[in-house]
Amino acid sequence: MDEIDQLTPLDPAYVKVLRIVSGIFAIILIIGAGALEFTQLAPMGLIVTPVILLTAYCVWVIPQRRYNRWGYSAGSDRLRIVRGYLFYSDTVVPYGRIQHMDVDQGPIERPYGLATFSAHTAGTHGSTIVLPGLPHADALALRERIRDYIKQANA
């Protein structure tokens, strides 16, 4: 089997990050539903109960499903990122096509030691490839690996 066919999962802590982000939006929705309940436009519980159930599903179940559907492989000369279930995406980018790379950490990723790796290629459609949920050290190592490949190819 080719080395590019074996996918590496994202860091398991990424599920927690996804849950926190979803939870922030869930709180906003629940507050909005509570405000609607307070105006008494509908019988008590008719608005807030479904919103709470829906947000609980979105905070607890969906992040794990999203995590399970991500994988990547950093081959000797290309990066492959696979994601999605309903909208499936399998992207392969040759290292030589990458123009620049970013490693970003947001305030929610930082405490978990995670980062998002982004690679930018020439073109318009699909010119930015994003790989979230990597351990920060792995994202930096991936960036250096690609940088070394590009240096050797241009030497």
Residues contacting 136, CB < 8 A, separation 6+: 103, 105, 113, 114, 115
Amino acid at 107: P
pLDDT in tens, 104-135: 999 999 999 999 999 999 877 778 999 999 99
Confidence of residue 61 (pLDDT cuts 50, 70, 90): very high
Residue 36 has pLDDT above 50, yes or no: yes
DSSP SS3 for 121:
strand
Tell me the per-residue pLDDT of 69-103, one tens digit each, with 9 for 90 and over: 999 999 999 999 999 988 999 999 999 999 999 99
Q: How far apart are CA 34 and CA 17, in angstroms?
A: 26
Domain boundaries, the chain: 13-65, 72-154
Q: Alpha-carbon Rg of the chain, whole angstroms?
A: 20
Class of domain 72-154: mainly beta
- What pLDDT does residue 40 have? 78
- Tell me the whole-structure pTM to 2 decimals: 0.87
Residue 76, C-beta contacts closer than 8 angstroms, at least 6 positions apart: 3, 149
Instruction: Quote the pLDDT of residue 3.
Output: 47
Q: What letter would DSSP give residue 66?
A: H
Residues 6+ apart with CB under 8 A from 16: 112
Q: Is the pLDDT reported for residue 138 higher than 90?
A: yes
pLDDT category at 149 given cuts 50, 70, 90 is very high
- Report the 10 Å Cβ neighbour count for 2: 7
> What is the model's pLDDT at position 5?
62
- pLDDT at position 2 is 44
> Per-residue pLDDT averaged across 43-50, rounded?
85
Provide the 10 A C-beta neighbour count for residue 114.
23
Q: What digits encode the pLDDT tens for the residues 19-31?
A: 999 999 999 999 9
Contact 78, 93 (CB under 8 A): yes
